[in-house]
Amino acid sequence: MQQVENFYKELPEVAYQKVTLPESIVVDHIKTLAYTAEVKRTVYAVSYNETAGYKALVNTNAAGFQGDNARWAHRWDNFITATTVNNENMTGNARRFLVFASWQNSIDMLAYYMHARGIYVGGNALDFANINPVGPAKQASVPNEKDKLLQVDLFTAYLRAWVLGDASAQPRLQDIEDFTLLYNKAADLFV
């Protein structure tokens, strides 16, 4: 296997497996979480985005958690069972992904971090994304689409604090539009 930094050396490295889940079971699990509807909507949109619509989980990882930059909080150690190396979709670079005891554990961990980092509408993402508060959908600044509302703050917070780790990153309009569609779908699922 490729040599990629490993902050979980005590765990086995297993072969990559592309896993598919029915969206309905993920939705059902997110509904059981003890978070507000706003956090659940973000968890859905992020996990859906990270897994290409639940068609490309990295083993049991439904949130793109990686183990090559640092360790995550120790409270999650009992749920992380292995690591695997696979090329990241965004960059094509080899990355070390966490493998969980169950895909539900990765969703639970995602919900914890989305809430803790303020990556939800109404959240305080100042520390991680330089946005406080994360506002509701805003008017689009797109010619001929004045009535279009987009999740600019939420996607920017996600991009900065989760995807890139760069508090000054600027999102592309197409990415904001795509994420807004996911969020709007989530708004119907989690009320």
Per-residue pLDDT reduced to its tens digit, 123-134: 888 787 788 777
Per-residue pLDDT reduced to its tens digit, 83-120: 999 998 778 889 999 999 999 999 999 999 999 999 99
By mean pLDDT, which of 27-31, 126-130, 139-143, 179-183 is the weakest?
139-143
pTM: 0.91
Residue 138 is predicted with a pLDDT of 73
Per-residue pLDDT reduced to its tens digit, 32-70: 999 999 999 999 999 999 999 999 999 999 999 999 999
**Residue 79 — pLDDT band, cuts 50, 70, 90?**
very high
Residue 27 is predicted with a pLDDT of 98
Count the Cβ atoms, other than its own, within 10 Å of residue 126.
Answer: 14
Whose CA is closest to 74, among 135, 125, 7, 163? 7
Per-residue pLDDT reduced to its tens digit, 6-30: 999 999 999 999 999 999 999 999 9
Cα–Cα dist 25/103, whole Å: 11
Say if residue 147's pLDDT is above 80: no
Residue 143 is predicted with a pLDDT of 54
Say if residue 145's pLDDT is above 70: no
How high is the mean pLDDT of the chain?
90
What the block records as the tokens of 72 is 């995550």
What the block records as the tokens of 1 is 């296997």
**H or E stretch at 97:** strand 94-100
**CA torsion, ordered 174, 155, 51, 8, to nearest 10 deg:** 130
Alpha helix locations (H) across the chain? 23-32, 37-50, 103-116, 126-129, 152-158, 173-189
**Residue 141 — pLDDT band, cuts 50, 70, 90?**
low
131 - beta bridge partners? Answer: 125
Say if residue 73's pLDDT is above 60: yes
